[in-house]
Amino acid sequence: MITPGTDLRYLLGMDGESHERLTCLVLPAAGHLAPPALVVPRLEAPGLAGLPLDELGVEIITWTDDEDPYLLVSDLAGGPSRMGVADAMPAAHVFGLRDIFPEVAQTLAGPVLRELRMRKCPTEVAELRAAGAAIDRVHARMGEFLRVGRTEAEVGADIAAAIVEEGHTGAAFVIVGSGPNGASPHHDVSGRTIERGDVVVIDIGGPLPSGYHSDCTRTYAVGAEPAAAVCAAYAVLQGAQEASVAAVRPGVTAASVDAAAREPITAAGLGERFVHRTGHGIGLDVHEQPYIVRGNSLVLEPGMAFSVEPGVYLDGGWGARIEDIVVVTADGCERLNTRPRDLVVL
């Protein structure tokens, strides 16, 4: 049972988000008689005209505001013993389906779909490569935006516009973490004014028209070389990011790539300052499988795409992060971001 979101976009090319009116792809497991069917509010049916539903053999079943869409799903699905629901399905629909199938065990569909989604085909890799090039063009223009005397919010607004100018349909996130704000990994922007000597974390990305995302972080110094202690910690971080990228190849675990980043940072006494996992898969979602995190024994295969983004965060002081998207190749990986990884002074 797949409601709107990136799973449905992956399967049918259908865009849009879930809302209170049920849209649901009912996809029987192999061996069942019923064809796949898309249950959709009648007023949205005209919007399906461009989708390859006939080609895929997907039947359209419409419903109106005074009908019960869960009953329609129940008629279509017959008497299943298990039901997988999209990981992102809102609870309101999860429970609507649970109540119409009270005897049916509900599980996540994610474990099935991720086996498809996390292995990118060449077309998907080409989209991720184009997204990487687009966000690299934005980083190449950072000197236009990031200047002493401007607020993070002003810098961020310019970056958001540049993300669109360089080919994305929008800015999915714009982090401008200057000075002490850089110590908060998921800071976005604030009214803080950029000062001479600030270290600034810039983590930005968005979707191309295809829906595939960019995501790239660089750390800049503004107007002056940073203090020696900052440069020393940054050098450790840069070495850790290189080591982690160098560890990526088919046959190794996701956890081992995380460890390759974490070990040199820990050895330098900064382990407690690296407060997040090393990376996340990327594709139609900004964050998807595989996660590059301690304990993840998933074995990497060609076509898997994810971020490698260690960071260090000094409370009240400053932060730094370096992030590239990589795709696993036959014997290593391809980096999709190629801007300099040094602590560039603007």
Q: Give me the residues that bind its own copies (CB under 8 A), please.
A: 19-20, 41-44, 46-47, 64-66, 85-92, 94-95, 106-108, 110, 183-188, 275-277, 287, 293-295
| Least Å from the CB of residue 340 to its own copies | 26
* Cβ closest to its own copies, residue 112 vs residue 344: 112
Q: How far apart are CA 42 and CA 39, in angstroms?
A: 9
Least separation in angstroms between CB 16 and its own copies = 9
Dihedral sign, Cα of residue 233, residue 239, residue 242, residue 245 = negative
Nearer to its own copies, 142 or 244 (CB): 244
Residue partners of 211: CB distance under 8 A and separation at least 6: 6, 9, 15, 284
Residue among 185 and 207 whose Cβ is closer to its own copies: 185
User: Is 264 or 311 the residue whose CB approaches its own copies more closely?
Assistant: 311
Cβ(283)–Cβ(212) under 8 Å?
A: yes
**Shortest distance, position 139 Cβ to its own copies, whole Å:** 22
The gap from C-alpha 259 to its chain's centroid, in whole angstroms, comes to: 21
Nearer to its own copies, 42 or 196 (CB): 42
CB of residue 22 to its own copies, shortest distance in Å: 13
For residue 305, the minimal CB distance to its own copies (Å) is 16
Q: What is the 3-state secondary structure (H, E, C) of 110-174?
A: HHHHHHHHCCCCHHHHHHHHHHHHHHHHHHHCHHHHCCCCCEHHHHHHHHHHHHHHCCCCCCCEE
**43 vs 56, beta carbon nearer its own copies:** 43
Q: How far is the CB of 171 from its own copies (least distance, A)?
A: 11
The nearer residue to its own copies, 93 or 341, going by C-beta atoms, is 93
Q: Find the length of the chain.
A: 346
Tell me how far, at minimum, the Cβ of 329 lies from its own copies, in Å: 26
- Residue 36's contacts (CB-CB under 8 Å, 6 or more residues apart) are 25, 26, 27, 28, 56, 57, 58, 59
- Residue 129 or 276: the one with the smaller Cβ distance to its own copies is 276
Smallest separation (angstroms) from its own copies to the CB of 285: 9
> Please, are residues 201 and 217 in contact by the beta-carbon 8 Å criterion?
yes
Q: What is the dihedral of CA 115, 2, 35, 42, to 10 degrees?
A: -150
User: How far is 92 from 158, CA to CA, in rounded Å?
Assistant: 38
Cis (ω within 30 of 0) for the bond into 302?
no
End-to-end alpha carbon distance in the chain? 50
